[in-house]
Amino acid sequence: MNTSSLSAARAYALSMHGAQMYGAHPYSHHLDAVALTLLPYGQEAQVIGYLHDVVEDTDATLAEVRLRFGDLVAACVALLTDEPGANRKERKSKTYAKLARVTGAEELALVVKVADRLSNVRACVADAHRDLWNVYRGEHEVFKAAAFRAGLCDALWSELDELMSDEKQPRNASKAES
């Protein structure tokens, strides 16, 4: 991977997400935060970070991602794309089951997944989104059981575990997102 791949992934993701917002911010705010969190894990992780929501939240297809960015990136994006379900609980349950089976090179998707979750939780704490923080807190044990691999990205997990502690709970209430 080279810096042109990283730039291409960012440009493609921003183009596909279009005017989509991340709370009060343009969606680029979230994607850049995830990619920055992934900096120590290499450019391929960052490319996947930029693309992690593109199939789930836009008209992009896995075939397009594969053509533009290769098999491993597409396989990881597929793993990061929520499975269909009637509600968040059902979607996440199916998605976490898929993540629990990941091995080998595709474990890079697990690093991206925890960076994404960490970015979301950091935003909840910073912006005092208590209800959404509570959603993540309620999912944390099953999420970690599915996605944690010792030695893979322990620093990210340490920070996430800390942000999920009671003393980090945001004090102001806000509406939960799905």
- Position 42 in a domain: yes
Q: Quick check: 178 pLDDT over 50? A: no
Q: Quick check: 135 pLDDT over 80? A: yes
- Position 65 in a domain: yes
- Position 64 in a domain: yes
Domain count, the chain: 1
pLDDT digits (tens, 9 = 90+) for 56-100: 999 999 999 999 999 999 999 999 999 999 999 999 999 999 999
pLDDT digits (tens, 9 = 90+) for 13-33: 999 999 999 988 999 999 999
Q: What is the CATH number of the domain that holds 71?
A: 1.10.3210.10
- Position 176 in a domain: no
- Position 178 in a domain: no
What rounded mean pLDDT belongs to the chain?
A: 93
What residue numbers bound the domain in which 104 lies? 3-168
Asked if 12 and 68 touch (Cβ cutoff 8 Å), the reply is yes
The single-letter DSSP state of residue 23 is T
- Position 177 in a domain: no
- Position 104 in a domain: yes
The dihedral over CA atoms of 30, 156, 118, 18, expressed in degrees to the nearest 10, equals: 20
Q: Quick check: 3 pLDDT over 80? A: no
- Position 174 in a domain: no
Q: Left if phi > 0, otherwise alpha if psi is -120 to 50, otherwise beta: which for 59?
A: alpha
Q: What percent of the chain has pLDDT over 90?
A: 87
Cβ count within 10 A of residue 86:
7
160 is written with which tokens?
């996430």
pLDDT recorded at residue 2? 62
